[in-house]
Amino acid sequence: MLVLKHAFLNLKRHRWQHLLLGSLLFLLIFTTMTAYTLFTSAGRFAKQYERQFKSVVTILQSDLSIAQGETQAKEQYLKIGESDFVDEMKIIGNISIVFDQLKTVQQPINIGRGTMDSSLETDEMQLELTILRFGTTADIAKELFESNQELKTGTTNLKLNECLISDDLAKLNQLSIGDTIEFTVVGNDQKAPKKLTIAGIYQSKTPVEKRNDDNWSAFQSDDVFINSDTVSTMEDFKKFGSMNVSYKLKSQKDTSNFIKEIEQTNVSKQHYIMTNETNKKTAISIINGVKTFSSVLFLGSLIFGVFILIFVALDRFKRSQVEICILKSSGITNKQLVYSRLIELLGVISISFIFALFVVLHTVQPIADWQITSQKRLYDVFEQVAFTVTSDASEVVHSLPISLDGLSFISFVAIAGLCLLIIGSIDSYKIFKFKSIAFLLERNIDE
């Protein structure tokens, strides 16, 4: 009882010293707990991500394949899509167009014009190019979802000569459902304008103020969607359009076998075959980047923390030598002193641990998302690669899910226990080695 009473009295008597000690312990425990949580969460997420990753094989049309015409190419795509390896198929066509009267969200593109002699200077003309995309209702819905877009108003079930435009384009030109837009296909010398009726408006799921102008959401802010029936009436598509098809496979293991099937057809000779394997490697690299950062932070804070704790323990003992000398002279045994100081230290560490745990639970997720963003900036090619090949929206890592379990809590307690062990061990050793007579003889007369 005497030991416990003395410990609580000391907590109150030396509250400023304990406040400083608690602050140091809080920073150390918070840093190591945060780093450990990031490390374990990144490891779990990387394994889960790799297991659930959906392999996508994309066939891009070349100039030679465009010359074959839409019908023959589409028949080849559909036949390949009947493979046992394929889970889903998506066909999206592309045509470059120019609006006759509308303003575009994107910056104009400079197009050189002049003589064929590259040594001569050429004039430049500016074209406000827009991509006209087409597909079935299901394919359009997939394209919007995989591009982080959503329907704002209207419908994606487009009829003949109906279209779907972006909210940015609609606001810029004050357009709404039922309005008509005119455009001309790029490359058409006849300049024959075509008309479409707006049936739906889509928007980005990402708020405008948070968008990055270099990412896909900004690139797609002018895109116009039409259905396959509408494009079949356009003779210009056979000359200037192209179709890209993507196949989502049932298993990652099927990728090589499926590509071999494609190579046995005429498609492989006239098209480019690409996979999203680079997407997976890049995403895993971003996650591993967080894992590497957190491991370095954990080991660094642990090693640095050990030295800090040793210094704190020695300084703590030095400041209390007079008190220890008086208590020993009063008949207090070494064991009683050790127990009292351990209870005192346990109280400070417990408060620091609870406060650190509370802060970690509320801040580790924002820290993890910030780390993902920082790592993605290091891999600035990620956004370009991720959408050069058609990919599933779930492939793009925007956030690192934080997962805490019983083992994590045990590890947190172990970190706090390590702090108690280091300071307590040094404190106990110094108390048992402390000699009151030697301490008094070494003190200066002025003291």
Phi first, then psi, for residue 200 (nearest 5°) are: -160, 155
Q: Is the pLDDT of residue 162 over 70?
A: yes
- Residue predicted with more confidence, 264 or 331: 264
Average pLDDT over residues 370-399: 60
- Residue predicted with more confidence, 34 or 219: 34
User: Exposed e or buried b for every residue in 168-204, given b needs 16+ CB within 10 A?
Assistant: bbbeebebeeeeebebbbbebeeeeebebebbbbbbb
pLDDT at 392: 54
Q: What is the residue-averaged pLDDT of the chain? A: 76
Under 8 Å between Cβ of 164 and 201: yes
Tens digit of each residue's pLDDT (9 = 90 or more) over 367-378: 888 888 877 776
pLDDT at 230: 83
Average pLDDT over residues 144-156: 86
pLDDT at 200: 92
pLDDT at 122: 41
pLDDT at 350: 87
Which residues fall within 8 angstroms of residue 316, CB to CB, at 6 or more apart?
Answer: 17, 21, 423, 427
pLDDT at 79: 82
pLDDT at 142: 83
pLDDT at 342: 77
pLDDT at 14: 61
Average pLDDT over residues 250-261: 84
Give the model's confidence band at 177: pLDDT under 50 very low, under 70 low, under 90 confident, else very high.
Answer: very high
Give the model's confidence band at 102: pLDDT under 50 very low, under 70 low, under 90 confident, else very high.
Answer: confident
Of 86-90, 386-390, 400-404, 430-434, the one with minimum mean pLDDT is 386-390
Tens digit of each residue's pLDDT (9 = 90 or more) over 186-236: 776 666 678 899 999 998 876 544 444 433 334 456 789 988 888 877 776
pLDDT at 387: 44
Average pLDDT over residues 104-119: 51
pTM > 0.85: yes or no = no
- Residue predicted with more confidence, 13 or 354: 354
Of 75-84, 207-216, 299-308, 416-425, the one with minimum mean pLDDT is 207-216
pLDDT at 280: 77
Under 8 Å between Cβ of 324 and 427: no
Residue 305 half-sphere exposure toward CB, CA atoms < 13 A:
26
pLDDT at 240: 72
Strands 242-249 and 149-154: unpaired
Average pLDDT over residues 105-120: 48
Of 95-109, 210-224, 304-318, the one with minimum mean pLDDT is 210-224
* C-alpha to C-alpha distance for 104 and 97, rounded to whole angstroms: 11
Tens digit of each residue's pLDDT (9 = 90 or more) over 7-30: 555 655 666 676 777 788 888 899
Please classify residue 108 by burial: count the beta carbons closer than 10 Å to its beta carbon, then call 0-12 exposed, 13-18 middle and 19+ buried.
exposed
Of 224-238, 286-300, 302-316, 353-367, the one with minimum mean pLDDT is 224-238
Q: Is the pLDDT of residue 128 over 60?
A: yes
Average pLDDT over residues 139-160: 86
Q: Is the pLDDT of residue 112 over 80?
A: no
Q: Is the pLDDT of residue 445 over 50?
A: no
